[in-house]
Chain A
Amino acid sequence: MRTRTDWLAHAVLGLGVILFAFPVWLIFAGATQDAGAINRGDLSLLPRLSHLGIFFSVLRHGGADGKIPVWHMLMISAGMALGIAIGKIVISFLSAYAVVFFRFLFRRIAFWTIFITLMLPVEVRIIPTYAVMANFGMINSFAGLTVPLLASATATLLFRQVFLAIPDELVEAARMDGAGPIRFLRDILVPVSAANIAALFVILFVYGWNQYLWPLLVATDPRLDTIVIGIVQLIDAGSVLTPWNRMMAMSLLAIIPPVVVVVAMQRWFVRGLTEVEK
């Protein structure tokens, strides 16, 4: 069969790529221009390479006068994303280990209690969760941003699946070698699930980085503003006074870290995503 160029496929995919890439190019170009020019509607699609300094300026001084510097928001976002990703993986890994490899009282109840969290997204329990947080004094604390989001039914289910698929012979052999539960966990389970851990890390990092409603509720102190919160706040104030170029620079800085994580770990991510959800 003669292979010829599939022009239709290139056209459709090319348009798709542009649909997603264009807004990002737009904010890159816009960030380097005068706020006044953008306000007048003179937004050029050609970036002014001499004005790339705007990104450093935003990092140091924030999106608008008197705002928290963007580097600080990025640190909070990174802390939140890493805390949630690592925390969720650790506690889900441990609880799946307990549920699969041990027999204990209330094992089934424990499993179903974890499972039920699937059905209770933050969005449906906004007010009472806030009240609980206030009672514990966790409003406006970094722990408040992360700890309540750490329970994960999906991660627990995934690890359970992986652990159930480990052959009995392997477990037996490890026990013959005198491996106790802790050594088994460290020397067998962790290496066996490494690919799943990598995939979950990508998914959960993005999940943590992109949180909006949760930080909006529990952290009113500007020093705990994540980058996502910071951007939406600025656009809320949206008016003639909005420094559009600085906002665009901020938006670009906000999407770079999670995009880098997804693209760099694409192979694990794609396989993991389709496995996690099934």
Chain B
Amino acid sequence: MERRTIFGGRLLPAALVLPQLLVTVLFFLLPAGEAIYQSFTVTDAFGLHTRFAGWANFSAIFADPTYLAALARTGIFCALVTLLALALALLLAVFADREIRGRAIYRTLLIWPYAVAPAVSAVLWVFMMHPEVGIVGRLLNRAGLHWDYTLNPIQARGFVIVASAWTQVSYNFVFFLAGLQSISPAVIEAARMDGARGLHRFRTIIFPLLMPTTFFLLIVNLVYAAFETFGTIMALTRGGPGQATETLVVKVYRDGVVNLDLSGSAAQSVVLMLLVIGLTALQFRFLDRRAN
């Protein structure tokens, strides 16, 4: 889409886009290019000599069982976080859409958690679930469940998934509620006349109409779970115990920033970039189709 009426001048528009372009080139494109360059080279231990390595860094990470394990772990983690965050948000949105007393208050009380930083929400969960100090953690232990997410890998995974999903529910809630409110009352009324009730009406009429919203949220949540849970995981378990909760982003951080394996972490970064590009492309293709 283009505008017909436009202003003349050459210098002014250039000056207007310059700040944005400068930041983009210096802090986005340059580092991304650097990552791609590093992923195809190897530097010796002293950082003196760099030579071209072809696909060696990539074949190395894909031959590394710890990387493959992190890949699989991240996939399962993303799927479960997304499922949990979407299901809970949809449930709350469906009921918040009903004509009940005080629904404006309910909405506010369900929207505010959007403002809580993932890393801080993790800390809130520690206060609840810490095996000795947390109010719920102690209850679990008193019930004889041997709750200690710092030692038990399965408990650690469950904990990280629940805490990560918790932060994302409000965001999904806003979108589901907007989606539900945009369904025409006539459609619902017609379904009611046809005798479709409760769960049946939801499954056959409302949920299909919510599909665009759900698909959009699916991608956003996958991206969130893959990339933005870094703070949550660092605050809860630092990827442990062992590597039980180490996702791809945590691994890039550990290999690159902590262990200073530049080529390996650059190759990992490039893989992550491809992942984001794939997900974003999927999302835009979908939005395009809906717009037409």
Contacts and interface: CB of A to CB of B under 8 A. Distances in A.
Which among A126, A129, A278 has the highest number of chain B CB atoms within 10 Å?
A126
A259 B112 CA distance: 6
Contacts of A43: 133, 135
Nearest to B135: A43
A207 to B, nearest CB: 10
B239 interface: no
Contacts of A104: 10, 13-14
The range of chain A's interface size is: 35 or more
Contacts of B249: 123-124
Contacts of A10: 100
Contact of A124 (B16, B111, B272): B272
Contact of B115 (A132, A163, A235, A262): A262
Interface string A3-35: 101101110110011011111101100100000
A172 interface: yes
B13 A102 contact: yes
B6 A132 contact: no
Contacts of A261: 115
B38 to A, nearest CB: 7
B144 interface: no
A263 B95 contact: no
Contact of A131 (B31, B101, B118, B238): B31
B16 A41 contact: no
Contacts of B265: 126-127
Contacts of B123: 231-232, 235, 247, 251
A206 B143 CA distance: 39
Contact of A148 (B23, B227, B262, B266): B23
Interface stretch (A51-59, A67-75, A109-117, A190-198): A109-117
B108 A125 contact: no
Majority SS at the chain B contact face: helix
Residue of A19, A150, A232 contacting most chain B CB atoms (<10 Å): A232
A39 B169 CA distance: 31
A228 B17 contact: no
A113 B24 contact: yes
Interface string B250-292: 0011001100001001100100110111001000000100000
B220 A277 contact: yes
A12 B252 CA distance: 40
Given A41-B133, A127-B35, A209-B117, A266 B108 contact: yes
Interface string B1-23: 10111111110111011011101
Given A127-B269, A131-B34, A274 B257 contact: no
A270 B231 contact: no
Give chain A's interface secondary structure class. Answer: helix
B24 A244 contact: no
B25 interface: yes
A124 B273 contact: yes
Contacts of B234: 212, 232
Contact of A232 (B114, B119, B174, B266): B119
Contacts of A172: 5
B26 interface: yes
Given A23-B124, A232-B235, A248-B127, A38 B133 contact: yes
Contacts, number: 297
A183 to B, nearest CB: 11
A206 B14 contact: no
Given A12-B92, A127-B256, A209-B117, A95 B109 contact: no
Contact of A6 (B21, B26, B100, B275): B100
Given A104-B10, A128-B269, A251-B124, A120 B32 contact: yes
Contacts of A175: 5
B269 A274 contact: no
B113 A124 contact: no
A127 B126 CA distance: 29
A201 to B, nearest CB: 13
Given A94-B19, A120-B273, A274 B178 contact: yes
A9 B95 contact: yes
A180 B275 CA distance: 45
Nearest to A11: B95
B31 A114 contact: no
Most buried by B among A94, A172, A248: A94
A209 B272 CA distance: 25
Nearest to A170: B5
Interface string A239-278: 0000010011001001100110111001001100110011
Contact of A164 (B1, B112, B135, B228): B1
Interface in A82-116: 91-92, 94-95, 97-105, 107, 110, 113-114, 116
A262 B112 contact: yes
Interface of B: 1, 3-10, 12-14, 16-17, 19-21, 23-35, 38, 88, 91-92, 95-96, 98-101, 106, 108-128, 132-133, 135, 138, 166, 169-171, 174-175, 178, 216, 220, 223, 227-228, 230-231, 234-235, 238, 249, 252-253, 256-257, 262, 265-266, 269, 272-273, 275-277, 280, 287
